[in-house]
């Protein structure tokens, strides 16, 4: 099992998404904002249909709620965060969803689909940080592809990069 701390990169190191086969949209989001993170699956594993997708939630991406998909089972894993984070209306979160898994469906290699979760880029994060989501893609025939690699430099283009959201400066918090 991958730990969220292992998949959080502190600095953006170039864009590996051009070569990625699982990408997350949006590519950028403001610190302290709600984020609809949509993971696009563009192919199966060596031609085999995708039958499951597990997304490990990085530290600092809090208040996660996944979107159900018709025909797929949905499970979440919860646990303690490494720290506590300010949330809406003065609430503090120190635990929540740490992974989301969709399974039991079938996405043929010839088709594209999207898997979505909503969360909040914690105010304690810094612009320029990249939230890296480790994604494990299960396919028919017991095949698995792990999209977990992180570029070590701007010139490094991993074969199976972990999709990431680069954080930008956030807006001033509103008080109601």
As averages over each run of 10 residues, the pLDDT of the chain (176 residues) reads: 39 36 94 97 94 98 97 98 87 96 97 97 95 97 94 85 94 52
Tell me whether strands 164-168 and 28-30 are parallel, antiparallel or unpaired. parallel
Q: What is the pLDDT of residue 151?
A: 82
For 4-155, CATH number?
A: 2.60.40.2230
Q: What is the widest separation between alpha-carbon atoms in the chain?
A: 53
Q: What is the pLDDT of residue 11?
A: 31
Distance CA 29, CA 125 (A): 11
Q: What is the pLDDT of residue 12?
A: 33
Burial class (CB in 10 A: 0-12, 13-18, 19+), 132: buried
Contact criterion met (CB below 8 Å) for 41 and 22: yes
């Amino acid at each position: 099992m991958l730990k969220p701390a292992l998949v959080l990169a502190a600095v953006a190191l170039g864009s590996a998404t051009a070569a990625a086969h699982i990408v997350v949209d949006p590519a950028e989001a403001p610190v302290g904002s709600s984020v609809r993170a949509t993971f696009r699956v563009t192919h199966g594993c060596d031609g085999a249909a995708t039958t499951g997708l597990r997304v490990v939630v990085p530290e600092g991406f809090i208040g996660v709620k996944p979107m159900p998909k018709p025909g797929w089972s949905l499970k979440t894993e919860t646990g303690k965060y490494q720290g506590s984070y300010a949330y809406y209306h003065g609430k503090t979160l120190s635990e929540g969803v740490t992974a989301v898994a969709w399974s039991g469906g079938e996405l043929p290699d010839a088709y594209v689909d999207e898997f979505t979760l909503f969360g909040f880029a914690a105010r304690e994060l810094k612009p320029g940080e990249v939230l890296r989501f480790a994604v494990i893609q299960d396919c028919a025939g017991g095949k698995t592809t792990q999209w977990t690699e992180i570029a070590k430099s701007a010139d490094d283009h991993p074969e199976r990069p972990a999709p990431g959201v680069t954080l930008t400066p956030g807006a001033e918090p509103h008080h109601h």
